[in-house]
Structure formats: structure tokens, C-alpha cells
Amino acid sequence: MMKSREEAWALVCEFVQDRGLQRHMLAVGAAMRFYAEKLGADSDYWEVVGLIHDFDWEIHPDLDRHPIAGAPILRERGWDEATIRTILSHYTAGTAVERSQPIDFALLACDEITGLIIATALVRPSKDLREVAVSSVRKKWKTRAFAAGVDRDHVEEVTADFSRECFGGKLELWEHIGNVLVAMQAAAAEMDLDGRLAQ
């Protein structure tokens, strides 16, 4: 049986103490929900997958272990194999699990770009994600030293894969980034990016 969002969030809170990492997973969950609705998929399920995809990063903070070592924990807790497979597919180089379903391509396309969007919000005096425009993100994108951990080439590559697999090649990079931004803005309060951090 599919796990609920409440169960997913409880798993995240059990294994992740860092608020920044929690914020990242909330962001990916929101973006996944957005795309599930756009593609006519199960939005509750896609959000849950986005929410837990990095649940083990704090206890396995390197790519030799994450997400492989997280899979047994999920199995012990009764998570379904389809969810585990999708999570493993977001690091094919380490897991040898290829992306094959729309949800797999969406997860990787939504993953890293959220970091640039969050960083763009956090450098604003208001720290309010709802005030961030795509043009602001685009400006920060060009400054490679800004949010340097966000691999722009990787984002372009996985967005192109997602576009090809799910949108017939018609989803452009900046349309995608705009979609993720809109999805995240709807969840700004849950991520503490509604201006409260400026106080």
C-alpha cells in the first residue's frame, strides 16, 4: 500500500536534522507534485517520492553509500519496490538502476535545480521565495561561483532527458526552471521561505 505524505515526512524528520536538507526535499516534493499534475500521474505518490529521495543523505553523506544504503532501510519500513527503484535511479552511476519511467526522469530533473532556486531566495533581503522571478534565477545561473554545488551542465542534461521522455522534446530548460519555481513558491511557507527568515 502506498505510504502517505505524513509517513514520508515522519521518515524525513527521523533521519534528517538539517533544515537545509529538509527544505531541499520539500522543494523536490513540490516540484514532483506539479509535474505529476501536468502529466496526469498520481500527484500524491510523486510528491512522496520527491519528499523522501534523499532521506538517507545525512547518515550516508557520500555517493558510495547514498542512495544504495538507504534502500534496505526503506524495505524494512515497508516501502514498496517501485518507490525504492525510482530513488535508486536518481544515481544510476552508483546503483546501476537506469531511469525508465516518467517519474524517474522527473525526479532527476527536479532535484538539483531546486538548490539554485533556494539559494536565489536566500540572498534576497526578504528571503521570500514568492518574490523570486525566473530572471533572477537566470542571472544567478550565469554566475557559476554562485551556488557552485549546482552543476549547470548536469541540470541541462537531465532536463533534456526529461523533456525528451515526457514532453516530446518540447520542454525547454527555462520553462522547466520556471515550473519548478512556481511549484516551490506554492510551498514557500513550509520551507520557511515566506520572509520569516529575514526577521
Whole domain around residue 106: which residue ranges?
A: 5-194
Q: How far is CA 146 from the centre of its chain?
A: 19
Residue 174 lies in a domain: yes
- Domain count across the chain: 1
Residue 145 lies in a domain: yes
pLDDT digits (tens, 9 = 90+) for 28-63: 999 999 999 999 999 999 999 999 999 999 999 998
Residue 129 lies in a domain: yes
Residue 34 lies in a domain: yes
Q: Tell me the CB-side half-sphere exposure of residue 169, using CA atoms within 13 A.
A: 0
pLDDT digits (tens, 9 = 90+) for 69-84: 999 999 999 999 999 9
Query: Residue 143 and residue 139: Cα distance in Å, rounded?
Result: 7
pTM of the complete model beyond 0.95: yes
Mean pLDDT of 127-135: 97
Query: Residue 123 and residue 140: Cα distance in Å, rounded?
Result: 10
Q: What is the DSSP-derived secondary structure letter of residue 198?
A: G
Residue 199 lies in a domain: no
Give the cell for residue 9. Answer: 515526512
Query: Residue 5 and residue 49: Cα distance in Å, rounded?
Result: 9
DSSP string, 151-186: -HHHHHHHHHHHHHHHHTT---HHHHHHHHHHHHHH
